[in-house]
Amino acid sequence: MAFAVSTACRPSLLLPPRQRSSPPRPRPLLCTPSTAAFRRGALSATTTPTPARAALPSTTGRNRIVCGKVTTTNNYPSSCRSRRSTMMHAAAWLLLQQLSPAAARVARAADDDSSVQVSKGSAAPNFTLRDQDGRAVSLSKFKGRPVVVYFYPADETPGCTKQACAFRDSYEKFKKAGAEVIGISGDDAASHKEFKKKYKLPFTLLSDEGNKVRKEWGVPADLFGTLPGRQTYVLDKNGVVQYIYNNQFQPEKHIGETLKILQSL
């Protein structure tokens, strides 16, 4: 008697063959171990994770992962500081490329190591500089009326041109307040003369070659000392500083801020 082969006990033969699938791809890790483990306190601060990718610092717990490293303090590790510093220096370098060769030399000559000597309520130190026509001009000449002294990086740069033209457009308001406007930069007299003529500037531009007065007044430099600072001083009729305003990247705000102070004197 012949028996047929039964498949009742072998259900796998009745099912289609299982398709082979590729092994699952490992999920990319931002950092190993995870920041969640640190939040739970599962790992100690001495463990150094594999820096596959930089993870954002955790805002909870004592331990954080920053740039693939563990830190228990509120300060970023030196690797982060160096990267941030490099990026800022690169930005400063790009700004300097927009300056003319002469203006770039003036910008690099700025020194921000001097301490601030001129502050609100102090008497502004006198100086004598050459104007756009080569004539010697002293600050004491303007005593008896308010004076706005503004230091700017260099002639013909975008921000300085905008600032100078804004002072020009509001010059009648300064005259109405009885004040005089003086612009100072490290450019020579010839550069000032061309700059003044090109934009029809009605006020005096003084040449501070070598940035002697800038250093004496303690005008801080910007972008790690690569760009001379943009700072405005409002002096009353007695030569006492009543207001100091510093804003490198919003040059037009200097005009509005100084006018408010002049109108209150």
What are the tens digits of pLDDT across the range 153-171?
999 999 999 999 999 999 9
Name the residue type at position 29.
Answer: L
Q: Look up tokens 């909870």; give the residue.
A: 60
Q: Look up tokens 């910007």; give the residue.
A: 222
Active site residue 160: yes
Distance separating alpha carbons of residues 30 and 37, to the nearest angstrom: 13
Choice among 9-13, 144-148, 160-164, 184-188 with the minimum mean pLDDT? 9-13
What is the structure's pLDDT at 265? 79
Question: Which of 176, 204, 184, 201 is closest to 262 using CA atoms?
Answer: 176
Question: pLDDT tens for residues 48-99?
Answer: 444 444 444 444 444 444 444 444 444 434 444 445 545 555 555 555 555 5
- HSE of 217 in the Cβ direction (CA atoms, 13 Å)? 29
Decide which of 71 and 244 is more confident.
244
- Judge contact between 217 and 114, C-beta under 8 A: no
Domain edges within the chain: 123-263
- Judge contact between 140 and 125, C-beta under 8 A: no
Largest CA distance in the chain: 134
Share of the chain above pLDDT 90, in %: 48
The residue from 9, 31, 67, 160 that is catalytic is 160
DSSP strand pairing (128-131 vs 241-246): unpaired
Whether cis (ω within 30° of 0) applies to the bond prior to 146 is: no
- Using left for φ > 0, alpha for ψ between -120 and 50, and beta otherwise, residue 226 falls in alpha
Q: Residue 129: which pLDDT band, with cuts at 50, 70 and 90?
A: very high
Domain 123-263 annotated CATH 3.40.30.10: yes
**117 pLDDT above the threshold of 80:** no
- Judge contact between 181 and 203, C-beta under 8 A: yes
**177 pLDDT above the threshold of 50:** yes
What is the structure's pLDDT at 226? 77
User: Can you read off the two tokens belonging to residue 111?
Assistant: 């020194």
Contacts of 159 (CB under 8 A, 6+ apart): 152, 153, 230, 248, 249, 251
What is the structure's pLDDT at 53? 41
The average confidence (pLDDT) of the chain is 73
Question: pLDDT tens for residues 3-20?
Answer: 455 444 454 454 555 555
Distance separating alpha carbons of residues 204 and 202, to the nearest angstrom: 7
